[in-house]
Amino acid sequence: MDFLPISKSDMRKRGIEQLDFICVTGDAYVDHPTFGTAIITRVIEAEGYTVGVISQPNFKNLEDIRKLGEPRYAFFMNSGNIDSMVAHYTVAKRKRSDDYYTAGNKAGRRPDRAVIVYAKMIRQAFPDKPLIIGGLEASLRRFAHYDYWDDEVRPSILVDSGADLLVYGMGEYQTIELVHRLAKGEPVSSITDIRGICYLADPSQTPWGAVQCPDFEIVARDKASYAKATRQQMNEQDEVRGKTLVQRHGSRMLIQNPPMYALKTEDLDRVAEFPYMRTYHPVYEQEGGVPAIREVEFSITHNRGCFGACNFCSIAFHQGRKITCRSEASILKEAQSFLKNPHFKGYISDIGGPTANFRQPSCKKQAEHGLCKDRKCLAPTPCKALVADHTEYLQLLRKVRKIPGIKKVFIRSGLRYDYLLEDSNLEFFHELVEHHISGQLRVAPEHCSNAVLDAMGKPKIEVYRKFAEMYQKKTRELGKEQYLVPYLMSSHPGSTLNDAIELALFLKTNHLHPDQVQDFYPTPGTVSTCMYYTGLDPFTGKKIFVPKTKEEKAMQRALLQYFKPENRNLVMKALMMAGRKDLIGTGKNCLIAPSRKEEMTKQTQGGKRSWHKNGKSSKNTKRK
């Protein structure tokens, strides 16, 4: 068991003269099953082909792209685990000084728009070699898409990159079929029938029966058409009922085949059990390693997909809404393997996935009919067909806890408390609080305004209140010191200044003082990003308010941390603009106290109002 080749010397040690395939990635090389590059390269290796990795090539010359030579069959390429623009820029579009997926946490090792840059480098160095792009950046930019950093609609990344094929979603099945067909000598231009891929063709070759999205040129100038295209793309993202989608880009037609089928349990087990090294390549040791490994080195992914489908999340458009799970035996095997690692201290950081407590389909009709395209499973209220059952997940956790040498098993990835509350059997909830929390349980209510939650595709705030009350009660019963930490988001489409004030009051009432607040980040491929760009809800066609100015976004963010002295001026301005002077004072319902100058009663003419220590305003009268 070893890392895959990253140099010519590695190839010689393995007796490889020419690699069959080469994978280029924008992340440092980490051979762990939570990294897409590790999975795809191990898939290729398991199919009997040789494969090497070029990690974060120098994008200012072609030397690194050529360092492993020319692959016999093709290049596979991705930008890394996240979009390169998100990796490089904050929501305020300021350049980040760090990169979680780079050795030493150093920014600048990958280019902006890494898929496009790397693709052009590969094309320049090896113009005739097939090039397949995939990963999150390619997957979420597969259609014409609004780009937050350019503040305009860009064409499909397949057009901009010049690649032959784009693999969208989780790409194991696509990769297996591709490598065998390419190795048999089939021209890449003829490989157009695989599910889960996109390709470009002459419009005359458009498949019959396809759903046609408005053209790139149309969605780039007309926001209503952009919203329509988003709705079409989301509606067809289902492996059972999803149709071929097409979108014209100038003289060529972008064709997306229906989604690839989710991996069966035995195949998901196989992928999880490849001989990963489960850490970063030793070449990074002198720089302090790759920080992204710290949270996941001893974590276990037991499922894929998320039927929660929040509007601001890309998982539904990338992994899909269908839940697929690994077998219990495979998960126990992985947990036991940790005991052989000298760095393992007995603590499993997570047994989860996109949503930790999803281990079965949301309803029984999905296998035949797919997931509904006209409603969500959980929001705004749970579907009547929902089946909420934690029995299998609970049994799994119990068995892992009993393994000798395992001291603690935590759940740290997303947990849907609304789904948990739909389960009439509360055994899982009780054992979650007793055994699986590391001091804090993080959940994601995101907001308290039901209007904003509707825009987010989240459950009503009353559901969170019910869960928080249950959690606190159970924690007290167990005599534990554990906290519930809510993830919150400011400036999401639909959130007005008054909604942000409502959230600030909710935080004050519940004695919550969040250390971190996430501004809404309009990343490619989400419903919320469509709302941000168009000002329309793509499913209803109705207009939606969007906070866009730097000032308003700053005020909404400051309101969520109204208690910080440095935010006082912004909070004051927001309250004044919203006509909420009643929240300025020293009363128990006030958000900020008046300044000393405001607090003093002034003797003025004309009966001007002044602030008193009780937080109420009154009229001054002239001294007699």
Summarize the chain as % helix, strand, coil (round to 5): 35, 15, 50
Return the pLDDT at 604.
Answer: 47
**SS3 assignment, position 220:** coil
Q: Which CATH class, in words, describes the domain spanning 440-593? A: alpha beta
Is the separation of the CB atoms in 355 and 413 below 8 Å? yes
Return the pLDDT at 607.
Answer: 47
The DSSP-derived string for 234-284 is HHT--TTTPPPEEEEETTEEEEEPPPPPPPPHHHHHHHHTS----EE-GGG
Crossing angle of helices 497-509 and 550-560, in 10° steps, is 10
608 has pLDDT over 90: no
With CA atoms as reference, report the closest residue to 142 among 317, 10, 6, 306. 317
Q: Where are the alpha helices (DSSP H) in 102-249?
A: 114-125, 135-140, 157-161, 172-183, 216-219, 223-235
Return the pLDDT at 374.
Answer: 82
Return the pLDDT at 515.
Answer: 85
Return the pLDDT at 413.
Answer: 83
Tokens of residue 371, six digits: 């997931």
pLDDT grade for 414, boundaries at 50, 70 and 90 = confident
- Dist. CA 71–CA 386, nearest whole Å: 49
- Dist. CA 473–CA 483, nearest whole Å: 11
Return the pLDDT at 235.
Answer: 95
If you search the block for the tokens 């004044």, which residue do you land on? 576
* Averaged pLDDT for residues 134-147: 98
Q: Tell me the domain boundaries of the chain.
A: 8-194, 440-593, 597-624
249 has pLDDT over 80: yes
Return the pLDDT at 68.
Answer: 98
- Dist. CA 216–CA 145, nearest whole Å: 9
- Dist. CA 463–CA 417, nearest whole Å: 8
445 has pLDDT over 70: yes
pLDDT grade for 612, boundaries at 50, 70 and 90 = very low
**SS3 assignment, position 531:** helix
Question: Cα–Cα distances in Å, from 91 out to 452, 514, 520?
Answer: 19, 18, 8
- Dist. CA 41–CA 23, nearest whole Å: 7
- Dist. CA 202–CA 210, nearest whole Å: 15
With CA atoms as reference, report the closest residue to 237 among 308, 351, 139, 317. 317
531-548 residue pLDDT tens = 999 999 999 999 999 999
The CA-CA-CA angle for residues 527, 364, 170, to 5°, reads 45
With CA atoms as reference, report the closest residue to 547 among 498, 497, 502, 504. 497
pLDDT grade for 596, boundaries at 50, 70 and 90 = low
Q: What percent of the chain has pLDDT over 70?
A: 95
Length of the chain: 624
561-569 contacts, C-beta under 8 A, 24 or more apart: 561/513, 561/514, 561/517, 562/504, 562/507, 562/508, 562/591, 562/592, 563/513, 568/592
Is the separation of the CB atoms in 198 and 166 below 8 Å? yes
Q: Which residues pair with 131 in a beta bridge?
A: 75
263-306 residue pLDDT tens = 999 999 999 999 999 999 999 999 999 999 999 999 999 999 99
- 177's CB contacts (< 8 A; 6+ apart) are 194
For residue 437, count CB atoms less than 10 angstroms from its CB and return exposed for 0-12, middle for 13-18, buried for 19 or more.
buried
With CA atoms as reference, report the closest residue to 362 among 314, 410, 309, 414. 309
- Dist. CA 99–CA 486, nearest whole Å: 25
Helix H or strand E encompassing 13: helix 8-13
Which of the residue ranges 207-216, 445-454, 602-611 would you say has the lowest mean pLDDT?
A: 602-611
Cis peptide before 380 (omega within 30 of 0): yes
Is the separation of the CB atoms in 530 and 317 below 8 Å? no
Q: What is the mean pLDDT of the chain?
A: 94
Return the pLDDT at 180.
Answer: 98
20-56 residue pLDDT tens = 999 999 999 999 999 999 999 999 999 999 999 999 9
177 has pLDDT over 90: yes
252 has pLDDT over 80: yes
* Beta-carbon count within 10 A of 400 CB: 20
203-246 residue pLDDT tens = 999 999 999 999 999 999 999 999 999 999 999 999 999 999 99
Q: Which fold has domain 8-194?
A: Rossmann fold (3.40.50)
